[in-house]
Amino acid sequence: MTRLTRRYRFSASHRLHSPALSDDANRALYGKCNHPHGHGHNYILEVSLTGPLDEHGRVADRAALDGLVETAVLGEFRYRNLNLDVPEFAHLVPTSENVARVIERRLELGWRNAFPGPAPRLEKIRLFETERNIVEK
Protein backbone atom coordinates (compact mmCIF):
# COMPACT_ATOMS: atom_id res chain seq x y z
CA MET A 1 0.00 0.00 0.00
CA THR A 2 1.19 3.49 -0.83
CA ARG A 3 0.00 6.75 0.70
CA LEU A 4 -0.51 9.83 -1.44
CA THR A 5 -0.83 13.24 0.22
CA ARG A 6 -1.93 16.41 -1.54
CA ARG A 7 -1.62 19.85 0.05
CA TYR A 8 -4.15 22.69 -0.39
CA ARG A 9 -4.48 26.21 1.01
CA PHE A 10 -7.40 28.44 1.87
CA SER A 11 -7.76 31.74 3.72
CA ALA A 12 -10.80 32.09 5.96
CA SER A 13 -11.97 33.80 9.13
CA HIS A 14 -13.71 32.41 12.18
CA ARG A 15 -14.66 33.14 15.77
CA LEU A 16 -14.68 30.67 18.64
CA HIS A 17 -17.89 31.31 20.55
CA SER A 18 -20.43 28.88 21.96
CA PRO A 19 -24.03 30.11 22.20
CA ALA A 20 -24.53 27.67 25.09
CA LEU A 21 -22.13 29.64 27.29
CA SER A 22 -22.11 33.09 28.84
CA ASP A 23 -19.83 35.74 27.41
CA ASP A 24 -17.53 35.40 30.39
CA ALA A 25 -17.39 31.63 30.06
CA ASN A 26 -16.64 31.98 26.34
CA ARG A 27 -13.80 34.38 27.05
CA ALA A 28 -12.37 32.11 29.72
CA LEU A 29 -12.60 29.09 27.44
CA TYR A 30 -11.52 30.40 24.05
CA GLY A 31 -9.39 33.38 25.09
CA LYS A 32 -8.32 35.70 22.28
CA CYS A 33 -9.99 33.44 19.72
CA ASN A 34 -13.27 34.67 21.20
CA HIS A 35 -12.77 38.36 20.29
CA PRO A 36 -16.20 39.52 19.10
CA HIS A 37 -15.41 40.30 15.46
CA GLY A 38 -13.34 37.22 14.76
CA HIS A 39 -9.97 36.80 13.12
CA GLY A 40 -8.57 34.52 10.39
CA HIS A 41 -5.93 32.17 9.10
CA ASN A 42 -4.15 30.89 6.02
CA TYR A 43 -5.22 27.29 6.55
CA ILE A 44 -3.22 24.46 5.02
CA LEU A 45 -5.11 21.24 4.34
CA GLU A 46 -3.42 17.94 3.60
CA VAL A 47 -5.52 15.04 2.33
CA SER A 48 -3.95 11.57 2.47
CA LEU A 49 -5.30 8.52 0.70
CA THR A 50 -3.92 5.01 0.45
CA GLY A 51 -4.23 2.13 -1.94
CA PRO A 52 -2.33 -0.17 -4.22
CA LEU A 53 -0.72 1.21 -7.36
CA ASP A 54 -2.90 0.87 -10.46
CA GLU A 55 -1.51 -0.34 -13.78
CA HIS A 56 -0.34 3.22 -14.52
CA GLY A 57 1.76 3.50 -11.39
CA ARG A 58 -0.62 5.68 -9.43
CA VAL A 59 -2.50 5.42 -6.14
CA ALA A 60 -5.09 7.83 -7.46
CA ASP A 61 -5.83 10.26 -10.20
CA ARG A 62 -4.69 13.69 -8.97
CA ALA A 63 -7.35 15.50 -10.98
CA ALA A 64 -10.13 13.45 -9.36
CA LEU A 65 -8.84 14.24 -5.88
CA ASP A 66 -8.24 17.91 -6.61
CA GLY A 67 -11.72 18.18 -8.10
CA LEU A 68 -13.33 16.59 -5.05
CA VAL A 69 -11.46 18.83 -2.60
CA GLU A 70 -12.34 21.90 -4.66
CA THR A 71 -16.02 21.04 -4.90
CA ALA A 72 -16.54 19.68 -1.40
CA VAL A 73 -14.36 22.06 0.58
CA LEU A 74 -12.27 24.81 -0.97
CA GLY A 75 -15.00 26.32 -3.15
CA GLU A 76 -17.10 27.03 -0.06
CA PHE A 77 -14.36 27.75 2.50
CA ARG A 78 -11.93 29.92 0.56
CA TYR A 79 -12.14 33.64 1.35
CA ARG A 80 -15.10 33.01 3.63
CA ASN A 81 -16.17 33.46 7.24
CA LEU A 82 -16.57 29.90 8.49
CA ASN A 83 -19.17 30.78 11.15
CA LEU A 84 -21.44 32.65 8.78
CA ASP A 85 -20.78 31.13 5.36
CA VAL A 86 -20.41 27.39 6.02
CA PRO A 87 -23.70 25.80 7.13
CA GLU A 88 -22.18 23.22 9.49
CA PHE A 89 -20.81 25.98 11.70
CA ALA A 90 -24.15 27.61 12.34
CA HIS A 91 -24.36 25.40 15.42
CA LEU A 92 -20.84 24.04 15.74
CA VAL A 93 -17.89 26.10 17.03
CA PRO A 94 -15.23 26.23 14.27
CA THR A 95 -12.28 25.11 16.38
CA SER A 96 -9.56 23.58 14.25
CA GLU A 97 -10.71 20.17 15.50
CA ASN A 98 -14.25 20.81 14.28
CA VAL A 99 -13.11 22.33 10.99
CA ALA A 100 -11.11 19.14 10.36
CA ARG A 101 -14.16 17.03 11.26
CA VAL A 102 -16.41 18.91 8.86
CA ILE A 103 -13.85 18.66 6.07
CA GLU A 104 -13.50 14.92 6.65
CA ARG A 105 -17.27 14.39 6.46
CA ARG A 106 -17.56 16.41 3.28
CA LEU A 107 -14.79 14.40 1.64
CA GLU A 108 -16.37 11.12 2.75
CA LEU A 109 -19.73 12.18 1.33
CA GLY A 110 -18.26 12.93 -2.10
CA TRP A 111 -15.73 10.10 -2.11
CA ARG A 112 -17.67 7.41 -3.92
CA ASN A 113 -18.54 9.83 -6.66
CA ALA A 114 -14.93 10.86 -7.23
CA PHE A 115 -13.48 7.37 -6.74
CA PRO A 116 -16.09 4.79 -7.77
CA GLY A 117 -13.77 1.79 -7.38
CA PRO A 118 -12.73 -0.08 -4.22
CA ALA A 119 -9.56 2.01 -3.89
CA PRO A 120 -8.13 4.40 -2.88
CA ARG A 121 -9.32 4.91 0.67
CA LEU A 122 -9.41 8.31 2.45
CA GLU A 123 -6.85 7.72 5.19
CA LYS A 124 -6.57 11.00 7.02
CA ILE A 125 -6.65 14.75 6.78
CA ARG A 126 -4.32 17.17 8.44
CA LEU A 127 -5.24 20.80 9.00
CA PHE A 128 -2.70 23.51 9.86
CA GLU A 129 -4.45 26.55 11.37
CA THR A 130 -1.04 28.12 11.88
CA GLU A 131 2.39 26.55 11.61
CA ARG A 132 2.17 25.68 15.29
CA ASN A 133 -1.41 24.44 15.67
CA ILE A 134 -2.13 21.28 13.70
CA VAL A 135 -5.04 18.84 13.83
CA GLU A 136 -5.25 15.35 12.30
CA LYS A 137 -8.17 12.97 11.93
- Interacting residue ranges for its own copies, rule: CB under 8 A: 2-9, 11-14, 18, 29-33, 35, 37-42, 46, 53, 56-59, 62-63, 78-81, 83-85, 92-98, 100-101, 130-137
Residues 6+ apart with CB under 8 A from 90: 83
> Considering the complex, what minimum distance in angstroms separates the CB of residue 29 from its own copies?
6
> Considering the complex, what minimum distance in angstroms separates the CB of residue 50 from its own copies?
9
Q: Which is nearer to its own copies, 73 or 93 (CB)?
A: 93
CA distances from 113 to 9, 11, 104, 110 (A): 23, 27, 15, 6
> Considering the complex, what minimum distance in angstroms separates the CB of residue 54 from its own copies?
9
Sort strands 80-81 and 39-51 into parallel, antiparallel or unpaired: unpaired
Q: Roughly how many angstroms between the first and final C-alpha of the chain, as a whole number?
A: 19
Q: Which is nearer to its own copies, 1 or 109 (CB)?
A: 1
